[in-house]
Structure 1
Amino acid sequence: MKVRVVSDEGEFRAMRQAWDALLGRSGTGSVFLTWEWLYTWWKSFGDDKQLYIIVAGDDETRAILPLYRRKVPGFVYPGSVKLEFLGTGEERSDEVCSYMLDMIAEAGCEEQAYADIFAFLREVRPCDWDLMSLKFVSSRSGFIDAARRYFGEDAYTVHVEESFRNGITLLDDGWQGFYNGLGKKTRKMVRSGRRRLESMNGFSYRFLQRRDELSGMLDAFVKLSLKRWGGGGAFASPKFSSFQRAVCEEFADRGMLKLSLMEVGGRPVAGNLDYCYRDTVYGYQTAFDAGFSKNLSVGLLGMLYCIENAAEEGFRKYDWYRVARESYKERFISCYEEIVNLVVARKSFYIALLGLLGRLKKL
Structure 2
Amino acid sequence: MLTVRPVSEAGFSAMAVEWQACLEASDANPLFMSWPWLYSWWETWSQVLGMELVLLGVFDQQSRLVGIGPFCRRVLVTPAGVRVVRLYMIGNAWRLAPTVRTEYCGIIARRGYQSEVMAVIVPALKQLAWDELVCSDVPTEQLENLGARGLGGQQGYRIIHRTEDRGVRINTAGSFADWLGELGKNTRLKAYNRRGYLQKQGELAFEGHEEGRDGDFFNHLNAFHRNRWRKPAFDREALRFHRLLLQRLHLCGGEPAMSLILYNGRCVSALYDLVVGGCRYNLQAGYEEDFDAKVSLGYLHLGYAIESAFRNERISAYDLLAGTGKKHFYKSHFHGETVKFSTFQVVRNPLLKALYRIQAASPPSVARAFSRRVGL
* More divergent stretch after superposition (79-88 vs 143-152): 143-152
Instruction: Quote the residue 2:125 is aligned against.
Output: 121
Q: 1:311 aligns to what? A: 310
Q: Contact 1:169–1:317 (CA<8 Å) still a contact in 2?
A: yes
In structure 2, the residue matched to 1:31 is 31
Cα 1:78–1:94 shift into 2, 3 Å: closer
Structure 1 position 229, deviation (Å): 2.1
Deviation for aligned residue 1:202: 4.0
Gaps of 5+ in 2: none
C-alpha distance in 2 between matches for 1:233 and 1:250: 24
Aligned counterparts, 1:82-97, within 5 A: 82-89=86-93, 94-97=98-101
8 A contact 1:163–1:341 mirrored in 2: yes
Q: Which runs of 5+ in 1 are unaligned?
A: none
Note closer, same or farther for the CA distance 1:76–1:19 as it changes in structure 2 (3 Å cut). Answer: farther
Question: What is the CA–CA distance in structure 2 between the aligned matches of 1:333 and 1:92, rounded to whole Å?
Answer: 35
Aligned partner of 1:243 in structure 2 is 241
Q: Distance in 1 between matches of 2:312 and 2:179?
A: 14
Letter in structure 2 aligned against 1:184: K
Q: Deviations over 1:300-339 (max 9, x none)?
A: 1011111011111132221112353953332213221111
Counterpart residue identity of residue 223, structure 1: A
Q: CA offsets, 1:197-232, max 9 Å, x none?
A: 3345443211146x76696233323322322323x1
Shift of 1:56: 0.5
Which amino acid letter does the alignment assign opposite residue 80 of structure 1?
Answer: V
Matching residue's letter, 2:18: A
TM-score under structure 1 length normalisation: 0.87
Say whether 1:13 aligns with 2:13. yes
Which residue of structure 2 lines up, in the alignment, with residue 278 of structure 1?
277
Matched, 1:105 2:109: yes
The alignment covers a number of residue pairs equal to 354
Match of 2:187 in 1: 186
The equivalent residue for 2:262 is: 263
Q: Letter of the aligned partner of 2:38 in structure 1?
A: L
Q: Does the 8 Å contact 1:30/1:101 carry over to 2? A: no
CA contact (8 A) 1:234 1:241 kept: no
Q: How far 1:46 sits from its partner (Å)?
A: 0.4
TM-score of the superposition, structure 2-length normalised?
Answer: 0.85
Aligned to 2:205: 204
Bigger mean CA deviation after superposition, 159-168 or 288-297: 159-168
Matched residue type, 1:284:
L
Cα contact 1:23–1:105 (8 A) shared by 2? yes
| Alpha-carbon displacement from aligned partner over 1:95-127 (angstroms, at most 9, x marks no partner) | 3111110101101111100010111122xx24x
Q: Which range is displaced more, 351-360 or 66-75?
A: 351-360
Cα pair 1:286 1:303 within 8 Å, conserved: no
SS at match of 2:257: strand
Tell whether the 8 Å contact from 1:169 to 1:334 is kept in structure 2 after alignment.
Answer: yes
* Distance in 2 separating the partners of 1:345 and 1:138: 19
Q: Does the CA contact (< 8 Å) of 2:259 and 2:271 recur in 1?
A: yes
Percent of counterpart pairs with the same letter?
Answer: 22
- Choose 258-267 or 323-332, whichever is displaced more: 323-332
| Paired residue secondary structure (1:192) | helix
The alpha-carbon deviation at position 355 of structure 1 amounts to: 7.2
Partner of 1:341: 343
Aligned to 2:332: 330
Counterpart CA distance in 1 for 2:91 and 2:66 is 21
Does the CA contact (< 8 Å) of 2:165 and 2:340 recur in 1?
yes
Deviations 1:119-174 (A, max 9, x none): 1122xx24x212111111011x3x32221121234442334454211122222313
Cα pair distance change 1:356/1:103, threshold 3 Å: same
Q: Name the structure 2 match of 1:287.
A: 286
| Cα offset, 1:256, TM superposition | 2.6
SS in 2 for 1:46: helix
Distance, in Å, in 1 between the alignment partners of 2:29 and 2:91 is 15
Residues 9-43 of structure 1: CA deviation (Å, up to 9, x unaligned): 22111011111111111011241111111111111
Deviation of the 1:79 alpha carbon: 4.3
Distance 1:83 1:93 in 2: 15
Alignment check: 8 A CA contact 2:105 2:138 kept: yes
1:225 has 2:225 as partner: yes
Structure 1 residue matching 2:103: 3-state secondary structure: coil
